[in-house]
């Protein structure tokens, strides 16, 4: 590989390691990314992994982690609101600030081809905040046209912000692709992207299932606790006290393990 060549792999978030998923959390919480999102709060670890878990049951979303040299997580790209009946979808991506020189353009070309050729869709849509005009202009360079603007559509930092709605039609992309790529050739030169086609590993699937089962069982546990306290508090409360005592013991032992 040449010294100027940059290689990236798009990998399903479920196939990524815990370390890679944690790197994605850092990117999601970076100032630059949070400013471009509808929600700007700092995302916690539990919230982050709950988001990943929910994706497993959502057939209308595909989320890929952008891995530099197949290892380092440097961004995320997703297709959302997948609609195979009407052959359309939305998409979005965000990158670490260190990887923005040309990668965004290369990723846009790659994902447009993926949506139209691999998924067989006819329309690709996206939404951009009015505070990010540079991204609006970038999408238009790839043939996206502005299909609407909703004034004061969301609230961020106690201000009402408008949202641009953009769309790209497959026929337009196929007709104009050569011209668009010619204009962007220097920008994406030396950048290679590929889609990881590996299926979710068995071990990761088992871990995800355990996590999901534990989450559901927590609901069952709380329902059981509520029922016991309401029906027979005199007998249930000593059991609850014992649970709390053992939880405290577990926390103390965990603290010794962590602190050495």
The alpha carbon torsion through 107, 112, 117, 121 (nearest 10 deg) reads 140
Task: Look at residues 54, 75, 61 and name the one whose alpha carbon lies nearest to residue 10.
Answer: 75
pTM exceeds 0.85, yes or no: no
In the prediction, which pLDDT does 37 show? 85
In the prediction, which pLDDT does 207 show? 62
Chain mean position to CA 72: 16
List all residues 6 or more positions away from 245 whose beta carbon is below 8 Å from its beta carbon: none
Per residue in 217-247, is it b (16+ CB within 10 Å) or e — as a string?
A: eeeeeeeeeeeeeeeeeeebeeeeeeeeeee
Query: Mean pLDDT per segment of 10 residues, for the chain of length 260 residues?
Result: 78 90 93 85 88 84 94 94 96 88 91 96 96 93 96 89 97 95 88 82 57 66 76 78 79 78
Distance from C-alpha of 115 to C-alpha of 128, rounded to nearest angstrom: 19
In the prediction, which pLDDT does 126 show? 96
Q: In CATH, what class is 6-195?
A: alpha beta
In the prediction, which pLDDT does 156 show? 84
Domain boundaries, the chain: 6-195, 202-259
In the prediction, which pLDDT does 139 show? 96
DSSP state of 102: S
Residue 220, both tokens:
């069952």
List all residues 6 or more positions away from 249 whose beta carbon is below 8 Å from its beta carbon: none
- Angle at the Cα of 76 (from 58 to 63), degrees rounded to 5? 20
């Amino acid at each position: 590989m040449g010294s100027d060549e940059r290689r990236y792999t798009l990998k399903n978030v479920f196939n990524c390691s815990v370390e890679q998923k944690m790197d994605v959390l850092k990117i999601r919480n970076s100032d630059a990314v949070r400013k471009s999102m509808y929600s700007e709060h700092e995302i916690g670890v539990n919230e982050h992994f709950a988001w990943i878990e929910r994706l497993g049951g959502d057939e209308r979303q595909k989320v890929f982690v952008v891995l530099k040299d197949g290892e380092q997580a440097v961004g995320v790209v997703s297709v959302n609101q997948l609609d195979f009946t009407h052959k359309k979808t939305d998409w979005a991506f965000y990158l670490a600030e260190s990887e923005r020189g040309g990668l965004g353009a290369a990723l846009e070309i790659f994902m447009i081809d993926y949506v139209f050729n691999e998924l067989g869709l006819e329309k690709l849509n996206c939404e951009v905040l009015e505070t990010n005009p540079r991204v609006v202009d970038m999408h238009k360079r790839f043939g996206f046209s502005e299909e609407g603007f909703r004034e004061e559509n969301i609230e961020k930092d106690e201000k009402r912000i408008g949202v641009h709605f953009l769309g790209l039609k497959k026929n337009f992309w196929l007709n104009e692709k050569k011209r668009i790529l010619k204009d962007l050739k220097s920008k994406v030169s030396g950048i290679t992207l590929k889609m990881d086609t590996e299926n979710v590993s068995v071990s990761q699937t088992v871990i995800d299932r355990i996590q999901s089962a534990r989450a559901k069982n927590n609901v069952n546990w709380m329902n059981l606790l509520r029922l016991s306290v309401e029906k027979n508090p005199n007998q249930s409360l000593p059991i609850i006290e014992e649970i709390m005592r053992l939880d405290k013991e577990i926390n103390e032992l965990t603290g010794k393990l962590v602190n050495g």
